[in-house]
Chains A and B, each alone.
Chain A
Amino acid sequence: KNEVEQSPQNLTAQEGEFITINCSYSVGISALHWLQQHPGGGIVSLFMLSSGKKKHGRLIATINIQEKHSSLHITASHPRDSAVYICAVGLKTSYDKVIFGPGTSLSVIP
């Protein structure tokens, strides 16, 4: 079993739809990161969470430490949101060592 899992693996949505991507992990963490990777490889750090909820524009990220689960929500999705979304966790026992999830490939159709 992978230490960080994401669902769904692939997601196709119509423009305007509300999107949820889930991440679950099985290790003790110091923080959880959501990353966005566009075709061509560039990665952007979207959120870093250790508790609660964060919002940035149309993006919302939540984390439940007890359940070892995080969700990334995209409201009013747009074709420019099409990318791979990657969940990553920083290990509590190993400063700055990061484990990545497999990624969720999102395609938003106009």
Chain B
Amino acid sequence: KAGVTQTPRYLIKTRGQQVTLSCSPISGHRSVSWYQQTPGQGLQFLFEYFSETQRNKGNFPGRFSGRQFSNSRSEMNVSTLELGDSALYLCASRRVASTDTQYFGPGTRLTVL
């Protein structure tokens, strides 16, 4: 069974640009969560999608958005990039409930110059 995949793995952008990251969950998993990891703030929850609906959201500005498609694949978008958005963005999938094991993807390393 293939694991969680994320594309691209590495990305360099400049301030003011926007970026879209993609996450393909494990087959059969309907929940996808996104996390941001930085050296200063550690891991932080961005949002979670289930059946194409945002089920929960962390404390991030509106520049961070996401969506989920009918095949459970998810994308997150960051508009008007800032230097502080440089981070490792991780997605994780689980079957359905919060009691199901969560499986993490390898992450997308975003650098904003």
Instruction: Tell me the minimal C-beta distance from A65 to chain B in angstroms.
Output: 15
Q: Could you tell me which residues of chain A, from 82 to 110, have a CB within 8 Å of some CB in chain B?
A: 86, 88, 90, 94-103
Which residues of the partner chain B approach A43 to less than 8 Å between Cβ atoms?
90, 92, 104
The A interface is mostly helix, strand or loop, or mixed, namely strand
Number of interface residues of A (CB under 8 A): 24
Instruction: Tell me the minimal C-beta distance from A107 to chain B in angstroms.
Output: 18
Contact of A48 among B44, B48, B101, B107 (CB under 8 A): B101
Nearest residue, chain B, Cβ from A98:
B45
Number of A-B contacts (CB under 8 A): 57
Which residues of the partner chain A approach B33 to less than 8 Å between Cβ atoms?
96, 98
User: Could you tell me if A42 and B104 are in contact, using CB atoms closer than 8 angstroms?
Assistant: yes
User: Could you tell me if B56 and A94 are in contact, using CB atoms closer than 8 angstroms?
Assistant: yes
Instruction: Say yes or no: is A76 at the interface (Cβ < 8 Å to chain B).
Output: no
Within the assembled complex, what's the spacing in Å between the Cα atoms of A110 and B106? 28
User: Could you tell me if B98 and A90 are in contact, using CB atoms closer than 8 angstroms?
Assistant: yes
Within the assembled complex, what's the spacing in Å between the Cα atoms of A7 and B50? 34
Contact of A45 among B42, B43, B56, B102 (CB under 8 A): B102
Nearest residue, chain A, Cβ from B57:
A97
Contact of B42 among A42, A90, A96, A100 (CB under 8 A): A100
Instruction: Say yes or no: is A78 at the interface (Cβ < 8 Å to chain B).
Output: no
Nearest residue, chain B, Cβ from A99:
B45
Instruction: Say yes or no: is B103 at the interface (Cβ < 8 Å to chain A).
Output: yes
Instruction: Say yes or no: is B8 at the interface (Cβ < 8 Å to chain A).
Output: no
User: Could you tell me if B43 and A96 are in contact, using CB atoms closer than 8 angstroms?
Assistant: no
Instruction: Say yes or no: is B109 at the interface (Cβ < 8 Å to chain A).
Output: yes
Interface residues of A (CB under 8 A from B): 30-31, 33, 35, 41-45, 48, 50, 86, 88, 90, 94-103
